[in-house]
Chains A and B, each alone.
Chain A
Amino acid sequence: MLLHDIALVFGRYARQTLRSRFQMLFGILMPLLYLLFFGPLLTDLPLGSHGSSWQVLVPGLLLQLGLFGAAFSGFAVIIEKQTGVLERMRVTPVSRLALLLGRVLRDALLFVFQSVLLVLAAMAMGLRAPLAGVLIGFAFVGLLSMSLAALSCAFAMTVQTPVEFGPVINSIAMPSMLLSGLMLPMALAPGWLDVLSRFMPVRYLVDAMRDAYVGEYATSSMLYGVIVALCFATLAVTVGTRVFRKAGA
């Protein structure tokens, strides 16, 4: 029953996305610009890692795509609150968990799809990475997008207007991106910054992904990355469902 409900809700949102080419491609603009105009600057710099600069940069850009894309997922919830669609679905017997999971799975899939396009573009720019590593990277992007989308939707349930929502999300997403070392690895950071960045869950994901992109799968970074990604996803979905279950404020 739960799976049936999730498939139903997912289908509704997936069809909506498939109809909008704009929505499907918009999220990749920012990381693509970084790839084109920032990536080439790094090619000869010592980044404190093995592998090429592309193997360092691309995992960061993929997580950046997921981070910014998914953090704003809640916008759709606010719009649905305003049009009454959300309440109309909440009076049906459909599972509350499915109402959340159906939509965040659509988001996760959308961002993984955009990641594939970005990786193809990066390969044209010079990225070379093992297939298994690239696939592991997509899994991280999917998990992170799902977690952040769930938290974003939960937060959107508690605010009334987009004006309250946008600035809060921006002021969380921007520092998260910088502190997680998405652009350049935190291995380059001075001690205090490195310590600070260890409080960011995304830091562990990007370190694990960078290992995967150079074909090193049995590292401690990989272990931490997997643990953090799974714990964060569990926490986010639990919080999200709790908020969706509670009657709307």
Chain B
Amino acid sequence: MAIISTAGLARTFQTKRGPVEAVRGIDLTVRPGEILGFLGPNGAGKTTTLRMLTTLLAPTGGAATVAGCDLARDPGGVREKTGYVAQSGGVDPTISVREELVTQGRLYRLTKPQAAARAEELAGQLHLTELLDRKCAALSGGQRRRLDIAMGLMHRPEVLFLDEPTTGLDPGSRADLWDLVRRLRDEYGTTVFLTTHYLDEADALADRLVIVDKGTVVAEGTPSALKLTYAGSVDATLQDAFLAITGRGPAPQDQTPVAV
């Protein structure tokens, strides 16, 4: 039984310069407890897909269920069971770290003491304890990123959507986050749907990868399966496979124009 499944999920933006087909029909399924890496070049439609799956953006085509709730009919159910860390974050610079965390917990219907305790716990796990009483404006880029992640975890969601969670993190914090994601899955069975441009991260963390380009799924499978299929060997790098899939690699010899 899939915890996320989409069928022909699509979104076209109407702009003054005409329609932009950001997502053209995505079919995918995610099993409970899976860590899914959602990869693709800039502008492939990753963030747009995540915003649809988290109810922020109405699809212009297709359907999806998330955590047993239909996206169109029961957006409230989806919101209760999922957590979302947006690519560009979302904390108010004028509010303290603790207050943002507690209010976030309460928006997810935790009681005041529950929210306060959970804020302390997450601050410990994400190394924010000393920063709890600072204004969000007074955090470094990586510290703010860790706060964004903590905000998405306050209510222990069944499904967690992370949009480039480790962008801007130092190597130590990144390794810590990988551990945290694995622990969430191992201890709580959380399903994690994450995007990243770091292919070593995708390789190390994800059970399975879905690669999108120009709004459609162009490949999917375990990291080793993708390497074998697209780069010819399980020992190849994921980078080689990725470039071969998205067609941005060096062009094959016989297609190189003779005169430049």
Contacts and interface: CB of A to CB of B under 8 A. Distances in A.
Q: Do A and B come from one complex?
A: yes
Interface of A: 5, 8, 11-12, 15-16, 19-20, 80, 83-94, 246-248
Interface of B: 51, 54-58, 76, 79-80, 82, 84, 86, 88-95, 99, 103-104, 106-109, 151
Contacts, number: 67
- Dominant SS among interface residues on chain B: loop
A134 to B, nearest CB: 34
Contacts of A248: 56-57
Contacts of B86: 84, 87-88
A48 to B, nearest CB: 47
B93 A83 contact: yes
- Dominant SS among interface residues on chain A: helix
Contact of B108 (A20, A84, A92): A92
Contacts of A84: 86, 88-91
A5 B108 CA distance: 10
Contacts of B99: 15
5 contacts: A12-B103, A16-B92, A80-B92, A92-B107, A248-B57
A86 B86 CA distance: 11
A87 B95 contact: no
Name the residue among B56, B91, B151 with the largest chain A CB count within 10 angstroms: B56
Shortest 4 CB-CB contacts between residues of A and residues of B: A88-B90, A84-B90, A92-B107, A93-B79
Contacts of A91: 54-56, 79, 82, 84
A98 to B, nearest CB: 9
A89 B107 contact: yes
Given A12-B103, A93-B108, 7 more contacts: A83-B92, A88-B89, A88-B151, A89-B90, A93-B79, A93-B80, A93-B107
Contacts of B107: 5, 8, 89, 92-94
Contacts of B151: 88
